[in-house]
Chain A
């Protein structure tokens, strides 16, 4: 369908973008790749007064090496992520999850930052960012601030990005030591959203699991860390039995939604199975 009328601004720098947001009136939406916003506007589920298109803000696109972290620009497309050598080397989990996002056409336009700020609980990248302890750099007219992933996802479709602010980049720490990673996604058809997915990052040391981080997709209004699983795994023997026992705790404390694809109890069951599979794979078992 045709969206309701709106004002359209296309800045070329972050500063111009922030000004455009400030000037945009009551209801401003920021357009990144548009793969969620445009459908919602076409369905007239959103009717913003102003749309600020970041498509020409060149400084927001690309990946750079920043010593102990790689920095992914918010407007880096999923396609760019998939072919980026820094991500392949230091954060292959991001690429693995990105490869499961929607379809090729969507990945060509959709952006890394857009997917994170949209914060759909069924989206794949938030749980990955959480498991990798990424940091979010947010720009406002008063300057920039950095928010850890654990504080970035606030609620359903809601992040720490306040009105008048922009996500500009995401810092993903380089992992040192013997790490394995796995994104285990469960959906019905290839291009669908996750019913449940699990991002696992595991460091092995001397036959034991030294550290495990487990991010859960679509197990609540925000992505979650499966802390009980992580605690159970810390220092555990790297055996299938130990992993299976720990994974049993994956759904503890979660309150997933019920929808056409899954009722809550089934999601909780899936979380335990997928956690076991993801951690097993990440631990190289």
Chain B
């Protein structure tokens, strides 16, 4: 913590200083990091039963026989349900984003009935008196499978005559989504632009499959009380979950309460309506008893939705001077076996961001959503926008090489200049504000660019086995999801507003109810800072309530860097209404005209009469007593507000990575990382920096470490954290971070969103840096993640380093020698 103390900008003790801009330590952290909270899995209810899920050990098969008789006989087992048992009532898990009118959605059973389509799909659910009894019984389930051909490779899956994931469908393609700027009138004709171009560069990039790897495993508890149900779930989206679960199960929405208690991370991985949430509801309804399901880490890695997994075909057109003329993007996006909540929308969300910060006159995007026998993909930090940024920032480097230009000069020549904001892009988005040049200049200084370039030259000349490279990435993203009308135009199944309420308690304390449910972001602190400034009350006097649909009646939860931008704005709007209502009371009690009152520092005073005044906390008590208040108004200064932004916000930044590549081993090591982000107004610098650091860690992890690998049979080979490499602090460099501030014009705070920034910008910066280090040795691309082996193979064999080996890992070898045979695929 001393490192924190020493930082500039850490809170002063000056109580009069504004809260916005203070690096407050998070008020929720004491309970979160000392175990003094109740996570979902900590819930214990009288008579509670425990679920364990029997999962498919095969990727694609017909279920020919299910024998659970031995399970029923096992000690402690109360019931066991198969897909057939629940077929009539389980409905389909919802997909809320039909990106095209003719999108094919095969439906997504919570439990497989007659066919399994990915390893780990639920085939039976065991209910027992204890978790151990339920898990012991998993091994007793005897299920016969008749194997079907396994579809894993997207490029093969879209060929005519390919094996089908869903054999009742015509193909493995769920949808074909097109955005053509020429047709939309936001740009010129793309084919013409390419026909006329001096230079065209085409590349194929692979966005590997990633696993969100949140810290707290998913967990669900359902308690039936008569015909009412309460569901506690480790979810990002209690409000959305309530609506969706009601629609899926037929439980009326007003009979279902959903609570997200403190939730330990999500990164998009808990933006989902999970099969197990529905199964818990169905089984609790059948048994009339409370039930709990908590996943194991193995289940989490195998069955919680994954992210990314796209193949990108990118073409850029330019003239010889380096002016970009057109951009063409074609995607294959792996849906996995089913469409979950926003599976098809993730690549579509990126569709508008491929032009990045550059002034492409022509742009065309098309994407095929492809079914495979893998767990579904869905939101993962950045959702569509990291993929877009990667593609454009990688292709700009490739274009620079083709033109023999400095990659920064090429970018500068084509990016939007500060004086051009607001700027409507070729994708039709109105970028709100920013200054790419200033952010870039500051980042170059933070990195020590000139010295590193000189060192790079020296290493090249001396043939040093350790080569040095510098990679650029600029980015912008559409944040603050989102304007509801825009979401409607994209066929998204909900709006993008957010709701807040403020309750003024008799003692002057303040309860803030937010519909933006946190899962680790620090809403309680940031919202308290907002309210402290708005109402002029002490930071400590504010309590933030969230995550329980019985307390927070309206909300759309946390994802897409939307919480502060939309949810925080709703809080500020609600505070404005509190002040407006209190003003009437104050005028009455001070016997003054409303127009003569000014409100500052939490106090109404009569203009020109110093010393008189009434605090808003005193007014709260007065209106609680309600002995004396004006005629014709209600005795309350509580207020609520719903904020629906008119536009997205567009944070941006420049990220620079200096990378050492050991050409003898292929080992890559980040020498230095510098970034300057513009996330608009900063409410809490400590939280912002934490978000940037965490985002960088995840973005760097995509570039260097993480990859979900399936073997040829569709088994997840990276099924533990031994094989799915999540970097720790010791694997990451010091981050030199900075900010420029251009307030977002579209919300009262001026915030743009920071949750995804680091994750979006860092991946291409890291890959560009590695390539810059070895490009003179003939390397033009390296497949992510840049494992030492891939880097070494790219150096020595050419190509991009190739696919990974899919041979058995040590952990699996243990499996073959020591594992008890488990027909049910015990986890």
A contact set with B: CB distance below 8 Å: 1-2, 4-5, 40, 43-47, 103, 120-122, 156-157, 186, 188-193, 195, 257-263, 266, 269-270, 273-274
Contact = CB atoms under 8 A, between A and B. Distances in A.
A267 to B, nearest CB: 9
- By size class, the interface of chain B is 35 or more
A273 B809 contact: no
Contact of A44 (B792, B793, B820): B820
B664 A44 contact: no
B717 interface: yes
Contacts of A257: 807-808, 810
Nearest to A276: B664
Nearest to B815: A45
Contact of B819 (A2, A44, A156, A191): A44
A46 B818 contact: yes
13 contacts: A2-B132, A4-B136, A40-B814, A44-B820, A103-B728, A193-B722, A257-B808, A257-B810, A258-B807, A259-B805, A259-B807, A262-B788, A266-B793
Q: Which 4 A-B pairs have the closest CB atoms?
A: A258-B807, A190-B730, A1-B296, A189-B731
Contacts of B806: 260
Given A43-B298, A45-B818, A186-B667, A260 B805 contact: yes
Interface string B351-379: 00000000000000000000000000000
A157 B814 contact: yes
Contacts of B718: 260
Contact of B664 (A1, A191, A273): A273
Given A266-B789, A273-B665, 17 more contacts: A5-B136, A44-B139, A44-B819, A44-B820, A45-B815, A45-B819, A188-B787, A189-B725, A189-B730, A189-B731, A191-B730, A195-B788, A260-B709, A260-B805, A260-B807, A263-B807, A266-B793
Contact of B717 (A2, A45, A156, A260): A260
Contacts of B665: 186, 270, 273-274
A121 B814 CA distance: 12
A261 B730 CA distance: 19
Given A188-B725, A273-B664, A262 B789 contact: yes
B135 A1 contact: yes
B815 to A, nearest CB: 5
Interface in B706-722: 709, 717-718, 720, 722
A232 B363 CA distance: 63
Given A260-B809, A263-B805, A45 B709 contact: no
B42 interface: no
Interface of B: 131-132, 135-136, 139, 296, 298, 664-665, 667, 705, 709, 717-718, 720, 722-723, 725, 727-728, 730-731, 787-789, 792-793, 804-811, 813-815, 817-820, 822, 826-827
A193 B298 CA distance: 19
A81 to B, nearest CB: 20
A191 B789 CA distance: 18
B667 A44 contact: no
A174 to B, nearest CB: 33
Contacts of A274: 665
B298 A1 contact: yes
A103 B722 CA distance: 13
B818 A40 contact: yes
Nearest to A5: B136
A121 B792 CA distance: 23
Q: Which of B718, B806, B817, B818 has the most CB of A within 10 A?
A: B818
B820 A47 contact: yes
Given A186-B667, A262-B789, A157 B298 contact: no
B135 A2 contact: yes
A193 B725 CA distance: 11
A259 B808 contact: yes
A264 to B, nearest CB: 9
Given A257-B807, A263-B805, A1 B827 contact: yes
A34 to B, nearest CB: 15
Contact of A262 (B720, B805, B819): B805
B240 to A, nearest CB: 30
A189 B815 contact: no
For the residues of A in contact with B, the DSSP-based class is loop
Nearest to B662: A273
Given A269-B792, A270-B665, A273-B665, A191 B807 contact: no
Contacts of A121: 810
Nearest to B788: A188
Contacts of B664: 273
Nearest to A267: B789
A273 B795 CA distance: 15
Contacts of A1: 135, 296, 298, 826-827
A260 B719 CA distance: 12
A142 to B, nearest CB: 27
A40 B512 CA distance: 47
B810 A120 contact: yes
Contacts of B731: 189-190
A157 B817 contact: yes
A258 B805 contact: yes
B819 to A, nearest CB: 5
A192 B724 CA distance: 11
Contacts of B809: 259-260
Contacts of A188: 705, 725, 787-788
Contacts of A260: 709, 717-718, 723, 804-807, 809
Q: Which of A258, A260, A262, A263 has the most CB of B within 10 A?
A: A260
A190 B728 contact: yes
A82 B806 CA distance: 36
A122 B810 contact: yes
Contacts of B819: 44-46
Contacts of A191: 728, 730
Nearest to B704: A188
Given A44-B822, A186-B667, A263 B135 contact: no
Contacts of B730: 189-191
B42 to A, nearest CB: 17
Nearest to A262: B789
A270 B725 CA distance: 20
A22 B132 CA distance: 28
Q: Which of A122, A188, A258, A270 has the most CB of B within 10 A?
A: A188
A204 to B, nearest CB: 25
B419 to A, nearest CB: 45
Contacts of B808: 257, 259
Contact of A259 (B720, B810, B822): B810
B536 to A, nearest CB: 46
Contacts of B807: 257-260, 263
B141 to A, nearest CB: 14
A121 to B, nearest CB: 7
Contacts of B788: 186, 188, 195, 262
A259 B805 CA distance: 6
A4 B723 CA distance: 24
B728 to A, nearest CB: 6
Given A40-B818, A157-B817, A266-B793, A189 B722 contact: no
B729 to A, nearest CB: 9
A266 to B, nearest CB: 5
A189 B705 contact: yes
B49 to A, nearest CB: 16
Given A1-B135, A45-B815, A192 B725 contact: yes
Nearest to A39: B720
Nearest to A191: B728
Contacts of B727: 189
Contacts of B813: 156
B792 A266 contact: yes
A71 B488 CA distance: 73
A5 B76 CA distance: 14
Nearest to B785: A188
Nearest to B719: A43
A239 to B, nearest CB: 18
B172 to A, nearest CB: 27
